[in-house]
Amino acid sequence: MMLIISRLRFALATLVLPVTSAFAAQGELASVLVQPAASADLASFEGGVESVRQTVIAAQVAGAVVALPVRAGDSVKEGQVLLRIDARSAQQGSVASQAQSTAARSALELADKDLQRQKQLFQKQFISQSALERAEAQYKTLSDQLKSQIAQANVADIQSGFFVIKAPYAGVISELPIALGDMAMPGKPLLSMFDPKGLRVSFTVSQAAMNNYQAGQPLKIEFPGLPAGRQWLTASQYKVLPTIDAATHSATLRIDLPESVQDIAPGLFARVWLPLKGGAGNHFYVPAKAIVKRGEMTGLYVIDSQQRVILRQVRLGKTRDGATEILTGISAGERVALDPAAAVRAVR
C-alpha cells in the first residue's frame, strides 16, 4: 500500500489510496455525484463593521496626565472631560501675557497724553515739526506693541484650553493607551472613541460581481459571531465608493446599519450576500458529513474513473441546509464519498 502525502498550506494536496478488489464496485461505497447547484445565484463577500464617526484624539501640548476620569468602554456625553494635562506652566505663561498687555496699555495711554500735549505746543509754535513727529511715532510704536501683547495673551488663553481634553460628541471610549502620570506629547494619541449610533458595514466586492448584481434586490448581511436569531439583516440601501482598486479590481460597498441593532461594534466580522444575474457561476455543494479535516487541511474523498479513492484538498464556502459549498478542488461530474471513515476502511 502506498501513501503519497503532500501538505502545503495553500496548494492542492492529494492522498491516493488504491481500493482493494472487494470495494472495486462503485455501489459498495456510498457516494454522491457532483453537479452545479441550480440555485447558485448568490455571491458572498467578507467585510467588517466600522463606525461612521471614529476619532483618535491626540495631544496638542506637552505635559503629564494629571486626571483621567474615563476608562475604555465608558459611554461619554458631548463636552464631557476625558482627561487633564498638567497646565501649571501654561497658566503662568497666560498670567505673564496678561500682565504684559496691561503694561503695554498703560504705556500707550501715557504716550497718547504726551502726543496731545505735543500737538498743543506745536500749534503755539513752541516745538518743531520733528518733535511732533517723534511723539506720533512713539505713540504708533506703543500702539502696535499693545496689539502684539493682546494677541499673545489670546494665544496663551487658547493654549490653556488644550490641557483639558473634552469629548467632541457623545460616544464610547474604544481605546485608552495612556495611564495616569504618562507624558502627553503633541501628536501622541491619547484615546480613541466612536459613535455607536452611526455604524456601517464595509465590504470589498469584485467589479464583476457589482456589474452582475440584480438591481433592486435586497442584500443579506450575515454576522456569524452573533447569537442565533440576530445573525441576519436585510438591507435595501447601499453605497459604492466611486474608486476601483487597481490591484484587485474591486470596489468598496458600504451599508448603513439601523440604530436598533444590538451587540454590534466596530471590527465585528460580517458577510454580505449579493444576488447575481444568471447565477454566480458553477457552485458545487456536498453534504457536510463528507468533509474531512486533517490538521490544517480540509478535503474530500473523491472516487476517480479508475475506482481509486483520492483525498483531495478543497476550499469551503457557505453552508446551508446541511450542505457545504466547495469553492475550489472539485469539478462537475466527479463522485465524492459520503462516509470518510468507510473510504479509509476500504483500503485497510
Place of cell 480613541: 192
Mean pLDDT value of segment 4-9? 31
Residue 137, Cβ neighbours under 10 Å: how many? Answer: 12
How far apart are the C-alpha atoms of 186 and 184, rounded to whole Å?
A: 7
Res 278: pLDDT: 57
Provide, rounded to the nearest whole percent, the portion of the chain with pLDDT above 90.
Answer: 18
> Please, are residues 126 and 47 in contact by the beta-carbon 8 Å criterion?
no
> Please, are residues 118 and 111 in contact by the beta-carbon 8 Å criterion?
no
> Please, are residues 194 and 170 in contact by the beta-carbon 8 Å criterion?
no
DSSP-H helix ranges across the chain: 88-123, 129-161, 207-211, 340-345
In this prediction, residue 92 has a pLDDT band, given cuts at 50, 70 and 90, of low
Mean pLDDT value of segment 74-95? 82
For residue 308, which of 267, 274, 337, 270 has the smallest C-alpha distance? Answer: 337
* pLDDT, mean over the chain: 80
The 10s digit of each residue's pLDDT in 247-282 is: 888 889 899 988 878 788 899 999 888 877 655 456
Res 118: pLDDT: 82
Is 234 in a helix, a strand, or coil?
strand
How far apart are the C-alpha atoms of 35 and 58, rounded to whole Å?
A: 57
Residue 306, Cβ neighbours under 10 Å: how many? Answer: 9
pLDDT at 140 over 60: yes
Here the cell at position 227 is 447569537
pLDDT at 153 over 80: no
Any idea which of 32-36, 64-68, 159-163, 319-323 has the lowest mean pLDDT? 319-323
Which burial class, exposed, middle or buried, applies to 85 when counting CB atoms under 10 A from its CB (0-12, 13-18, 19+)? buried
Any idea which of 15-29, 166-180, 251-265, 277-291 has the lowest mean pLDDT? 15-29
Here the cell at position 245 is 482598486
Residue 74, Cβ neighbours under 10 Å: how many? Answer: 14
Here the cell at position 168 is 467632541
**103 backbone dihedrals φ, ψ, rounded to 5°:** -65, -40
How far apart are the C-alpha atoms of 333 and 12, rounded to whole Å?
A: 19
